Structure formats: structure tokens, C-alpha cells
Structure 1
Amino acid sequence: MLWFFLVLLVILVAATYFLFRVEDLSHLDIQHQPFRGGPPSEEHRYVIGRIRELGQSSRGLRGKARLYALRQHMDTLSDGLSLESEFRPVTHPRGEWVIAPGVDTRRRVLYIHGGAWAAGSPKSHRAITDRFSRIANAAVFAVDYRLMPEHRYMDGVRDCRKAYRWILEHGPDGEEPASCLIIAGDSAGGSHTLGLLGWIKHKGLRQADAAIAICPSTDLTLTAPSNRANIQTDPLLGPAFGGLSKVPLPVIWWVTLAAFRVSPLSPIASPLRGDLHDLPPILIHASDSEMLLDNARRYAAKAQSEGSPVTLHTWSGMVHVWHIFVPNLPEAEEAFEDIQAFLQEVESGQPVQEVHLAQS
């Protein structure tokens, strides 16, 4: 019997070697860089409290009950805010238009929400999409893509692709070509955003005019240093995913392949692992205290080395996707001012700095 397990182990090791030839990207790590602003504002304590409420909403629950409680709580994040936009539901493709007063609806933003591909919705991210509509002078389509585990990972990817094709030619009031098109997303949605850019290029479609990736996941191999180094400083992702640091990486790769039905080396799930040349201007935001910090750093460094214009701005001490706490968090206001300035740079034709790490 022992020989059987030894043979099985050899086969597994060999299969891991051939299936997961993970390129070492440590040369992309930026060791020293300035951060925007000073220590977190007093309002950041309120944000930490909201994060704890998020964790408590599913405490004691297991399986689907835990996931549904998390989804329900996330959908309350924008409750009580004074939002200026009109929220108009759409069935095909599924999502909602977010239209601030007086915006040019020929200008469009495709927004892809975060939530680890298993939670989140257009409703949970209305604070972000409402602000995007205003600062971009555009109609925002927040795509309600299919989530795991009820659906496959690729179902959500296909929904984002379908939404992009659709808003190229359709606005809130019917069929009308877009004059300007921006793709944006946060966390898991930031991953979909960056992956979508590569797919658009591959398909030869009209490329987006610009893209914004907020605290994006860019590499599901989890080989970036901050995935482990920032567990204790990340109040959102640390408690949820910090335990993965105790699991050998090859095991994580196999589990990812089984759950996503996509290899963690695929550019679809790990945009960092793809071809990053000839992309539109991209702005990336990240916090120095979050687990995904080096996902942002590595993507920016690789895209720059391949000739694509990317701007990386890093804040100090912020929670993952702090933007969702606008307008209650000053740093979230600063982040949207930064996004607006970036879009103005792109539209004015000014050269976008490839990697920008300046103090604010």
C-alpha cells in the first residue's frame, strides 16, 4: 500500500511542476517608495468600525448562510448617504445605470464591483459609482455579473465582456455609440478590469480610453510578499484570507484550479501574468497596509517595462478599497480627486506618468 501512495505523490509532484511553472516576479518588487499623505485621519477609525461590523454580520454562520449574510451586509454600505445620481436598472445585460444630474451620457464608465468574486453588487458600491458619474461627467454602467459559487468564475468574466461590448453602442436612453469609454473596478473587480483590457486587445475591439483599478487582485498565485507580510495590518482581507499563509502554495494553486476552473497562471484570473504591452492609460490605487499592495506594485512595474502607461498611487494605512467610504472619509475624497485629475490628464493629451509615486 505504501508504494501506491509514493507513486501517487510522485505523480502529484510531477503534475504540479508541469502545470504550475510559476515565473519568479520578485524583480518587480519596489522596496522603497513614498506614500500619499500622512497618518490616517480620525474618520478612519469609523471605517475600521464598519469593517468590524462586516465581519460580525456573519459570525457564527457557516457555508452559504455566512456568504448570504455577508452579501446582505455589503448591500447596506451606501445606505443613508445622500447620493445625487439616478439609479436605473437594466435586465440585459444585468446591472444598473448610474446617472448624475447633467452628465453627458455618450461618455460611459463600465464599473465592476469587488467582493472576492462571491459578494458585492451594484447596490453595495453605489457610493463609488455615484461619485464616478460626477467626476467623469459620464453615465456609469455597474454590471451585476454572476458570482461564485452559484456560478462559475468564467460566467462572471463573460458578463463583464458582454457588458463592455454592449455599452460601446448603448447608453441609458438606447442605442448610441460611446464617445468616451472608461473601465473601472475594485479588488476582484479590479482584476476583471485589468483582465478585460487584455481581452479587448486580443479581440481587436475598440479599446477603453482609460482604466482605473482600485486595490486590484492581479495574481492568484499569491507569491507576492505582501500577501503574507501585510496580514496583520489589513483589517479586511487579513481576517478573511490570512489563514492561507499557513497553506503550501502548490496546494493553493490546485484548490484555485478546482474552484475557479481556471489556472492561477492564466491572465484571465491573474492579469499580471499576461501580455501588458499596448494598453490604455491605467491608474492604480493601493494602500501600503493591505495584502494586495504588491499585486498593484508588480502590475505597475511590469506594464511600465512593457511600454504601457500606468500610474500607481499608494496611500498610507488605508483599509482595502477605502474609496467605498466616500464622503465620510477624507482620504476617499482625496482618492476621487486623484482619479478626476488622472482622467483630465488623459483627455487633455498630456503624457501620463508610467509609474508615479509622488507625495500628495
Structure 2
Amino acid sequence: MPLHPDIAQILAGLPAPPPGPLDPVAMRAAEEAQVLPLEERLPLHSVEDTTARTPAREVPVRIYTPVEADTYGLLIYFHGGAFFLGSLETHDHVARSLAKETGLKVVSVGYRLAPEHAFPAGLKDCYAAVRWAAENGGTLAWDGTTLAVAGDSSGGTFVAAVAGMAHDDGFDRITHQVMFYPSLDLDFDVDRYASLRENAVGYGLETAGLKPFNAFYLGSGADPADPLVSPIKRADLTGLPPALIVTAEYDPMRDEGELYGRRLKGAGVDATVSRYPGAGHGFVQHFSWIPEYHRVFEETAAFLKGES
């Protein structure tokens, strides 16, 4: 199907980006300016900012409790933003919707960003937050069952990398991994995947923008050949948690996500790949108010409950 008309209309009205190199400070400020005021956000039983005190450092987290209950399953969420954008605030609405639709307590991680913090600072924060959640289950009222990790775009990169790190460390508490249009191969050779050419221009995120957007991360020491940076390069995918990989029809990174899903299946991992027609990269963050795309939260809930 063509690009969803509501998305196409909004993209057509966006101003051209300013000339010159990307300015992380200005871009972050512009994103924060779009955040809804508190009174307009989806209400939940409670939303609390706190700190995950890990052996490495104190990591800011925001905990979303959907309803009052004695115990909960947990979902640890990593926001997207090409490793240099995004925050607890810019993705607050995503975390709220995940909590509401899944019924899980969501822990959103305020990990360190490039270029101020070199690789693997952000990844280490995400992994540390997952370990912290498991080790502090009593404080979080964890029921000891579901411990899922989820993320969008570069947050999906961290999901795949954290799942691999946990497996290699013998930490087997992660039960599910959910990746929304993940960036899994940071080698941006346009001939590697057909979607890099098919969806190169006109759908929001453009192929030519991948290198400059990810330059802050790669310039901080992240090597695209490293499986922790490009999880699709991990040689052995056996033993990883069941996965839901959501892709978008008009995303330049569509094909790498779908290839990763096929590779997981080939390694014996229970993996579901779900392509959303008419959508482009970032639709969970920017366009989940459209009913057919809000369904992604319901699909995630069904996956986590074993119903998909």
C-alpha cells in the first residue's frame, strides 16, 4: 500500500533541515519542545522517576505502573534516537502505551548518549538496568515471570545487543525481546539491503541521513563490525530469547530487521517478524496515534502473553 495519507501529509509539511552539520544540542531541544504537557499524557496508576543503583553507576530510570496490583511482570524499555537523541521525556508516551496495553510494569532507561559519552556507555547502562531490575525484583514487585526488553530504532539495537550480552554472561532471566524497526547493521553500504535503495527518499528517515545521524555514535568508538554495535553480525544466535521484530514498509532499515528475524528462526529462536504496511521509520514514536499503528502495542502485548 502507499505511504499512509496522514503520514504523507505531515511529512510534506515539514521544513527542510537547516544546512550544515547536525547540532545535537539544538536537535535535542527541538525534540523536547514537542513533548506533551503532563496533564495531556495517558494516565496510569503511577509514574515515578528514580535511580537504578548499579555496580557501574547510577542510571536514571522512569517506572510506569499501569494498575494497582500485588505483583507485575517487567518490561525494560530503551528509547530510540540514533544513539544521540531521545530521552525519558521524548518517549514517555511510548512507555505509557506499552504499560497500559501489556499490563506490565515498564522501566524506561535514561542511558548515556553519544557523542558526550563514548561507546559502550549507553549500552552498558541498558544492560546494567536490566540486571538491576532482576536483582531488585522485591522493590519492583516483580512476580518473577516476564522480564522483557524492548526498544525502538537504536533502542532496538540495544535490545539485541543486551540479549546477546546476557546470554554470553549466563544471565538467563530475560524472557522476551521486542524490537521496533531496529537498526541492526551499522554498515550503511546501500547495496547491502534492497530497502536502503527502495526507501531511500521521501519517507521521513532517508538513507543518505543514516551515516550523519549515526556518526556521533560511530565516532565515539562504536565499530560497525562489532556484534554489540551491529547485532546482525553476531555469529551464533542460538539460545537467545523469543523475539518480536516490528518493521515498517517504507523504512530504509526494513530489510536488516527482517533478515535478523530469519536468522533467529534459523538458529532455533522463536521469532516473529511483523511488517506494518504504509508506515515509515519511527512510526511507533511519531504516529502511534493512528489506530492501525497503535495496534503495535496490542501486538506486543499478545506476543508477551504468548498469544501471537
Range of TM-score over shorter length:
0.7 to 0.9
Q: 1:99 aligns with which of 51, 65, 70?
A: 65
Going from structure 1 to structure 2, the CA distance change for 1:104 and 1:78 (only over 3 Å counts) comes to farther
Counterpart of 1:87 in structure 2 is 47
Report the 3-state secondary structure (helix = DSSP H, G, I; strand = E; otherwise coil) of the residue aligned with 2:241. coil
Q: Closer, same or farther in 2 for the Cα pair 1:256/1:45, shift >3 Å? A: closer
How much has 1:134 moved relative to structure 2? Answer: 1.3
Secondary structure at 2:257 match in 1: helix
Q: Percent identity?
A: 24
* Distance across 1 between alignment mates of 2:268 and 2:240: 8
Q: Deviations over 1:234-280 (max 9, x none)?
A: 31244633789xxxxxxx9xx89961423212110011111211111
Listed one character per residue, the Cα deviations across residues 71-128 of structure 1 (whole Å, up to 9, x for unaligned) are 1222244415431133311233212112223356531111001100011011111111
Contact 2:284 2:296 in 1 (8 A): yes
User: Which residue in 2 is equivalent to 1:267?
Assistant: 227
Mean alpha-carbon deviation: is it higher for 132-141 or for 233-242? 233-242
1:116-265 aligned within 5 A: 116-170=82-136, 173=139, 178-222=144-188, 223-238=192-207, 240-241=209-210, 259-265=219-225
8 Å contact from structure 2 (residues 65, 106) kept in 1: yes
Contact residue 103 and residue 139 of structure 1 kept, 8 A:
no
Q: Normalized per residue, which structure has more helix?
A: 1
With over 3 angstroms needed to count, the CA separation of the structure-2 counterparts of 1:270 and 1:301, relative to structure 1, is same
Counterparts of 1:47 and 1:127, CA distance in 2: 19
Structure of greater Rg: 1
Give the Cα separation in 2 of the matches to 1:71 and 1:172: 35
- The more displaced of 215-224 and 282-291 is 215-224
The residue that corresponds to 1:304 in the other structure is 265
1 CA distance for matches of 2:142 and 2:291?
37
CA distance in 2: counterparts of 1:151 and 1:118, whole angstroms: 9
| In structure 2, distance between residues paired with 1:265 and 1:200 | 20
Cα distance in 1 for partners of 2:12, 2:133 equals 37
Amino acid at match of 1:48: L
Q: Give the secondary-structure state (helix, strand or coil) at the position aligned to 1:124.
A: coil
Q: Identify the residue that residue 67 of structure 1 maps to in structure 2.
A: 24
TM-score by length of 1: 0.74
C-alpha spacing 1:295/1:77, structure 2 compared with 1 (3 Å): farther
- The one-letter code sitting in structure 2 at the alignment partner of 1:168 is A
Are 2:113 and 2:122, in contact at CA under 8 Å, matched by a contact in 1?
A: yes
Aligned to 2:298: 337
**Helix, strand or coil at the partner of 1:269:** coil
How many angstroms apart in 1 are the aligned matches of 2:26 and 2:20?
8
Aligned partners of 1:225 and 1:168: how far apart in 2? Answer: 40
Moved more, 197-206 or 38-47: 38-47
- After TM superposition, give the deviation of residue 304 of structure 1 in Å: 1.1
Deviations 1:313-339 (A, max 9, x none): 111221212112365212321212221
Q: SS state of the match for residue 263, structure 2?
A: helix
Shift in Å at residue 199 of structure 1?
Answer: 0.6
Q: 1:176 to 1:229 in 2, by over 3 A?
A: closer
In the superposition, the TM-score normalised over structure 2's length comes to 0.85
Q: Per the alignment, do residues 175 and 329 of structure 1 end up closer, same or farther by CA in structure 2, a change over 3 Å counting?
A: closer
SS at match of 2:246: strand
Q: CA RMSD in A?
A: 2.8
**Cα pair 2:148 2:175 within 8 Å, conserved:** yes
SS in 2 for 1:267: coil
Aligned counterpart, 1:5: none
Give 1:201's aligned amino acid.
H
2:230 alignment partner AA: S
Distance verdict in 2 for CA 1:158–1:271, change over 3 Å: same
CA contact under 8 A between 1:183 and 1:212: conserved in structure 2?
yes
Rounded to whole Å, the distance in 1 between the matches of 2:169 and 2:281 is 32
**What is the aligned partner in structure 1 of residue 239 from structure 2?**
278
